[in-house]
Structure 1
């Protein structure tokens, strides 16, 4: 393939595919991820669309999460070929589009998980207001806004990704191409803040509020949906943390003055990018595995519909918790009414007793 219409890479072969060990390991990870994640997410989508009898808020959020993860899994064969050949063979346009879609699905996944956590918090703390956010029209608007924002904040991948020519060997690389260090800082700081710190900050606050509320009540909170969503949150964090840690390294590298430290940081992020990116992909194939273990009690009874019954069970848990909290509030109100009634009865009894005493006195006096 002729090496034309591409930018010469000033860092020689120090690209994300420049290290044999990291590219081989990354290709193996992506292969396993594709074999598990692509059919797994398709099964989740099919279960919700074809087998679920009612689409609750949690079910619709999981459906959107499966669509985001499944789309990401569908892209993995392109990256497997890239890591194996160490050569980008499908042009500059596909270089931009594929990495743009990867970034968009990363943003979509974490923000959908954030929406799940917010919904759980509202259903636990303000059960009487949950009807405000459970309307299908409201939910569809929220999801539309989330996907729209995801598409906008992923634009840096279209701007900075392009095919570069390796300087000392034949082949092409699809790498970020930043004219200035401030471009590096802008892109990866944006990913770090909007793709990790901000949504995870909201998630942590939500679960702190949920735990505080649980401690204040006497209800049994061993609910499938809370455990499942918490497992999704932790899994996403574990697999994306190395990627964002490497973003911090690259931003530090960009801000660091020339010298030994800058050179060392450069080697770390270039050699680690292929592996950490592949590890991040694992989070998209992990969710169907979590659903399988969470719903294994349904398998014998429901067969292929077991996952749909699991998601319906999470919806039942939400409505049951709301009813329990509402019932608790009503019980408190009833108790207060009973107390008031008892006090009134005592007052009436006192008045009757006093009246009887007065009548007796009048009769005796006569």
Structure 2
């Protein structure tokens, strides 16, 4: 544990920011824990057809539900404005949060890639067995655990003075010895946890939509709408966090006495707690999205409405694959007929 002399370095030094953060995290906990548990229960206990999309949604709900259960520690931290859980929990909790960020965007990316394969290469879908999907997801989790290590290394407890109460408090904050540490950690988070995955996602959707416009299959299937909603929601909630990451990285390139650096540091110090807690909302937003997507089933199926939604997603995937195979075969026949007529 080290000592800190600058109150502005603390993520809980701003009363206004911590108050907003506490309110957001409380809302997240109340919505996210039961919501994600309901998704897991619906898929495991009530869903008859488990498509690749459904399996990915199950993993996403497990990751979100687990991290939502841990928000109670951050609520207490922000409310008391001092860390009472010790150094191990300081490192461990922030490590798990960082891993959840990567897991969420990687799972969403896998959903988008699968949709692209289903539309562009339907004849290859038989190669994507449950065994293959399981191996890919396991590999993804290993990658997530490895790439989140910087958040474990660059985190420790510090003692700082609380000038408002003429006392001191313990904070769990980033520990960057050199400016390169700041640039490395936050650039890694933003590039590998946001920019690159979103580039893949956008590419997948552009290719998918282009293919759909070239074929007779123009119907927007349920799974495509659902995945697109998940992608957009994740981006909305995580974009401010990554903007603050880049603000903090940019500040490290200026001289310590620079006015520009002072301004950038003031921005990220005042906004870090709010944007971090705002990002947590993405983990409780998915159950709400699924509820709206499956609202047509609620009256008829009751608590089984979400299972019916996922069964419908699996069925729409299968029908889309059949239609795309039919379209591909039709296009091939047309090519053969044109070639025959030419010769």
Corresponding residue number in structure 2 for 1:56: 51
Corresponding residue number in structure 1 for 2:296: 297
Q: Compute the displacement of 1:219 (Å).
A: 1.8
Does 2:131 match 1:137? yes
**Structure 1: gaps spanning 5 or more residues:** 1-5, 344-366
**Structure 2: gaps spanning 5 or more residues:** none
Could you list the per-position Cα deviations for residues 245-275 of structure 1 after superposition, in whole angstroms to 9, with x for gaps in the alignment?
A: 0000000111211222111211111111110
Q: Compute the displacement of 1:337 (Å).
A: 7.7
CA contact (8 A) 2:42 2:306 kept: yes
Q: Cα distance 1:241–1:342, how it changes in 2: closer, same or farther (>3 A)?
A: closer
Partner of 1:171, secondary structure, is strand
Could you list the per-position Cα deviations for residues 310-334 of structure 1 after superposition, in whole angstroms to 9, with x for gaps in the alignment?
A: 1111111111111011122334556
Could you list the per-position Cα deviations for residues 178-201 of structure 1 after superposition, in whole angstroms to 9, with x for gaps in the alignment?
A: 111110011101101111011011
CA contact (8 A) 1:8 1:167 kept: no
Q: Cα distance 1:159–1:338, how it changes in 2: closer, same or farther (>3 A)?
A: closer
Corresponding residue number in structure 1 for 2:310: 311
**TM superposition score normalised by structure 1:** 0.89
CA contact (8 A) 1:188 1:247 kept: yes
Partner of 1:175, secondary structure, is strand
Corresponding residue number in structure 1 for 2:15: 20
CA contact (8 A) 2:221 2:320 kept: no
Tell me how many residue pairs correspond in the alignment.
Answer: 337
Corresponding residue number in structure 2 for 1:93: 88
Q: Cα distance 1:336–1:276, how it changes in 2: closer, same or farther (>3 A)?
A: closer
Q: Compute the displacement of 1:221 (Å).
A: 2.1
Partner of 1:179, secondary structure, is coil
For 1:156 and 1:123, how far apart are their aligned partners in 2?
36
Q: Cα distance 1:260–1:337, how it changes in 2: closer, same or farther (>3 A)?
A: closer
Residue range with higher mean Cα deviation, 146-155 or 67-76: 67-76
CA RMSD of aligned residues (A): 1.8
Partner of 2:171, secondary structure, is strand
CA contact (8 A) 1:117 1:203 kept: yes
For 1:322 and 1:231, how far apart are their aligned partners in 2?
21
* Segments of 4+ moved more than 6 angstroms: 335-343
Corresponding residue number in structure 1 for 2:191: 193
For 2:339 and 2:13, how far apart are their aligned partners in 1?
79
Could you list the per-position Cα deviations for residues 197-237 of structure 1 after superposition, in whole angstroms to 9, with x for gaps in the alignment?
A: 11011001000101111111222322111011000000000
1:211 to 209, 212, 215: 209
For 1:28 and 1:144, how far apart are their aligned partners in 2?
35
**TM superposition score normalised by structure 2:** 0.94
Q: Compute the displacement of 1:78 (Å).
A: 0.5
Counting only pairs closer than 5 Å after superposition, residues 245-264 of structure 1 correspond to structure 2 as 245-258=243-256, 259-264=258-263
Does 2:101 match 1:84? no
Corresponding residue number in structure 2 for 1:354: none
Corresponding residue number in structure 2 for 1:37: 32
CA contact (8 A) 1:161 1:176 kept: yes
Partner of 2:168, secondary structure, is coil
For 1:219 and 1:333, how far apart are their aligned partners in 2?
16
CA contact (8 A) 2:47 2:307 kept: yes
Does 2:8 match 1:9? no
Partner of 1:163, secondary structure, is strand
For 1:224 and 1:116, how far apart are their aligned partners in 2?
13
For 1:333 and 1:126, how far apart are their aligned partners in 2?
14
